[in-house]
Structure 1
Amino acid sequence: MTDMSKHMRKVLSDVPTLKVFDFSQYVSKIPGIIKFTIGEPDFDTPADVKEAAIKSIENNRTHYAPQRGTTGLLTAIADTLAKKYGLHYDPKTEILVTNGVTEGIYSALTAIINPGDVVLVPTPTFSIYSPDVMIAGGVPVEVDTSATNFKLTPELLHKYLTKYGDRVKGLILVNPSNPTGIAYRQDEINELAELLKNKPIFTICDEIYSELNYDGEYSSMAKVLPEQTILANGLSKSYAMTGWRIGYLCAPAKVTSLIFKVHAFAVTDIATFVQDAAEAALRDGDKATRQMDQQYIKRRDYMYRRLTEMGFDCTQPMGAFYIFAKIPPFLNQDDNELIYQLANEAKVAVTAGSNFGRGGEGYLRFSYATSLEQIKEGMDRLARFCEQAKNKK
């Protein structure tokens, strides 16, 4: 019998699975486990949003949608970006509704990459960007930012632009960041933009956590370099709509039209009633988002305090809902080994920092997108585990 798997695209053998989800499935089988792994809000989708979807289905909005997106949702996206962020995109030509940010990023990278093109990926970061680049035929180059407070600096960017020269096709910029929770100030982004300006380099900006920016004003490459920016955002995190799979891309009209070709052949369109629900969220969902933000801040502050007391050196989260913590010296320094030890002995599940690329080794990512009650119990368990580890030294 012929093993046809040997005759598939060779690059796929080098593309990893999403280890975050693999580990989450593993720990889900452990009775009584408390999970700080997946970045999924524990809140339910707001009632008004669900009612909008139900009403849409009852009105038989279950047929094919326009492939770029419904007029209502495209307009709502444009209005939201203009009102909240001061960004102005034409809903008819510069916005594309996608199957979550994940599909949007994939379609964008597939559309811009030619074989051998380099895309710079500041790490630690969520683990979809490098595999997407590889699948598209490009070369992902990880830029370790652990020595610069997990931010890409002009000095670092200049170093890599000089090294790879004309091969550089794109830069990934995630703001606020998963897994570190850091957020860039606009002046920091402006400095990076100066190095990219008038070069044939795209900035692919994943801003899925833009509504979860607790300690500063909105900042974006789209403000200063819109002609070179592909902006990706969605409703999964800010409106507790992870399962709805709804996102969007914004870019200059000619760029959007070419990305649209990849999107259209990959997914055809996004369900009409889901788009109607997303429109309702953008039009009327601010109150629910603010209430969630207030809860996240309480959770962040509590978890940060407890982890610091235990001896973890933590980044101060400015956005998203993660704490990136350096493993203290009295614990196993291999983060991949430690997460299994914590899951099986302490019944606490966290994510290994090395899953997020270079610079993440020796760190753990804690998600506080779960109830304060669960966080308190999980921190108590972790504290007991740490005390036992210290006593063994």
Structure 2
Amino acid sequence: MVQLDSRVAALKPSATLHINELSQQLIRDGKDIIRLGLGQSPFPVPDRVVQSLKDHAGEKDYLPVRGLLQLRTTIADYYQRRTGLGFNSDSVLIGPGSKELLFNLQLATKAELILPAPCWVSYAPQAEMLGRSVRYLPTIMEDNWRIEPEQLKQLPDSGSPRLLLLNYPSNPTGASYELEHIQALVDVARAQNIIIVSDEIYGETRFSGEHHSFAKWYPEGTIISGGLSKWCGAGGWRLGAMVFPESLRELQNAMAVIASETFTSVSAPIQHAACCAFEEHDDIQCYVQNSKSILKNIAEYMVSQLRAMGLKMVDPVGGFYLFVSFSGHRDELKKRDILTSEALCDALLSEAGVAMLPGSDFGLNADELFVRLAFVDFDGASALQNVQNQPVDSQRFVEDNCPRLVEACQRLAHWLQ
């Protein structure tokens, strides 16, 4: 009889992947489900990048464990342009998605993981699988879901390494860290010798303004995590990258050893095609700008519609998520025996046909009535064709191009009534 490791036996499937598979099964069963659960980019991979994949489909050799040299150089140049730091190919490690790299990072170092609450669903389970300690720092909607420097100052120092893992623009909130917040947090992290893992997978989806990397102000203590899944529409390609400072090269080397004994290397055709994605091409820049314009318009529409129902959320600045509070309807929901965010999402799925995720999956208490909504159920290819690099009326654009999102708002309003 096989006996499971107790840490693994206690795990549940990833919430985001589970809701996606459940939604697909309900649709196969004939249910009309609006899929706002899995945060998968609705946009197609840019034509230039797809063509590059076709051109390199015959590449069959094992590539270096750390990644194709050309790709590592291209990614180093990409982050050098965005941070001004002197990255080179030795700074970069390639993996089968940033998720795997984040797991291997925790495997390689016995560090306490510091997380904001709420945060992405897989950070803490990865630590729990490895028997690592997790410390949540509570954040609140009124402060735009940001960790405050004072919270870091008050952390007890156990003498072991500490990793502060921050994803911004954030999954699940859509909020981000602005320059003044980054600089204030960096001062404390440097003084307390805390390593920052800057998960910038949504950095290129920031609607407007500049995305600032923690690495620019804390180069010696920041690891950048990124990939192709969110800004390039290539989640299923499983291509992630981490960028390390020279001071953390020992950690990077240990992760490369882990890779050599586990996944060996990332698919060769995918790595060759990824070179094209990270290069500077006008058509790809246009694709990114148009994608951001579409997401901005959808976000404005969704926020307006949801607030009209008495729901609360911050104004997102990037990504494709809203973290929505139903607390204003607590009394009415209690009469329907809905007391937790999980019960709320179950009811919305079964009664309204709208799939979302409960706030408890993201580190909040079960009785906090938050849900994460991913506004991605629309035809991204068609939307890209219809946006023209110019301001558009958000309501008209969404009504014309995103009928499933319009219907989702209508179903929610009807359900609340």
RMSD over equivalenced CA pairs, Å: 1.7
The aligned counterpart of 1:70 is: 68
CA distance in 2, matches of 1:125, 1:310: 25
Task: Indicate conservation of the 8 Å contact 1:20/1:355, yes or no.
Answer: no
The aligned counterpart of 1:44 is: 44
CA distance in 2, matches of 1:272, 1:28: 30
Summarize deviations over 1:13-36 as a string: whole Å, max 9, x none: 333321232233223233111111
1:276 shift after superposition: 1.3
The AA in structure 2 aligned to 1:326 is: S
1:201 shift after superposition: 2.7
Summarize deviations over 1:46-72 as a string: whole Å, max 9, x none: 111111011111xx3121112111122
Residue 23 (structure 2) pairs with residue 27 (structure 1): yes
The AA in structure 1 aligned to 2:45 is: T
Task: Indicate conservation of the 8 Å contact 1:41/1:370, yes or no.
Answer: no
Q: Which residues in structure 2 correspond to 1:235-274 (within 5 Å)?
A: 235-253=228-246, 254=249, 255-274=251-270
1:9 shift after superposition: 2.7
CA distance in 2, matches of 1:94, 1:293: 29
The aligned counterpart of 1:348 is: 354
1:304 shift after superposition: 0.8
Residue 214 to residue 229, structure 1, CA distance change in 2 (3 Å): same
Task: Indicate conservation of the 8 Å contact 1:339/1:351, yes or no.
Answer: yes
What are structure 2's unaligned runs of at least 5 residues? 379-401
Q: Which residues in structure 2 correspond to 1:184-223 (within 5 Å)?
A: 184-197=177-190, 199-223=192-216
The aligned counterpart of 1:384 is: 414
The AA in structure 1 aligned to 2:51 is: E
With structure 1 as the length reference, what TM-score do the two structures score? 0.91
CA distance in 2, matches of 1:180, 1:380: 22
CA distance in 2, matches of 1:14, 1:225: 37
Worse overlay, 331-340 or 242-251? 331-340
Q: Which residues in structure 2 correspond to 1:57-96 (within 5 Å)?
A: 57=57, 60-91=58-89, 93-96=90-93
The aligned counterpart of 1:362 is: 369
1:300 shift after superposition: 0.7
1:198 shift after superposition: 5.0
CA distance in 1, matches of 2:352, 2:406: 14
Aligned with 1:230 (options 187, 203, 223): 223
Worse overlay, 280-289 or 179-188? 280-289
CA distance in 1, matches of 2:219, 2:130: 24
The aligned counterpart of 2:307 is: 308
Residue 277 to residue 101, structure 1, CA distance change in 2 (3 Å): same
The AA in structure 1 aligned to 2:16 is: V
Task: Indicate conservation of the 8 Å contact 1:353/1:363, yes or no.
Answer: yes
The aligned counterpart of 1:153 is: 148
Aligned with 2:360: secondary structure? helix
Task: Indicate conservation of the 8 Å contact 1:207/1:231, yes or no.
Answer: yes
Task: Indicate conservation of the 8 Å contact 2:14/2:121, yes or no.
Answer: yes
Summarize deviations over 1:340-368 as a string: whole Å, max 9, x none: 11111111111111110036731011111
What are structure 1's unaligned runs of at least 5 residues? 388-393
1:316 shift after superposition: 0.9
Worse overlay, 167-176 or 305-314? 167-176
Aligned with 1:374 (options 404, 408, 416): 404
Task: Indicate conservation of the 8 Å contact 1:300/1:317, yes or no.
Answer: yes
The AA in structure 2 aligned to 1:355 is: D
Summarize deviations over 1:261-304 as a string: whole Å, max 9, x none: 12222210011110111111112322211121111111111111
The aligned counterpart of 2:109 is: 112
- The number of aligned residues is 375
1:333 shift after superposition: 4.3
Task: Indicate conservation of the 8 Å contact 1:110/1:136, yes or no.
Answer: yes
CA distance in 2, matches of 1:263, 1:319: 32
The AA in structure 1 aligned to 2:40 is: E
CA distance in 2, matches of 1:63, 1:202: 35
1:132 shift after superposition: 1.6
Aligned with 2:56: secondary structure? helix
Residue 198 to residue 264, structure 1, CA distance change in 2 (3 Å): farther
Residue 8 (structure 2) pairs with residue 9 (structure 1): no
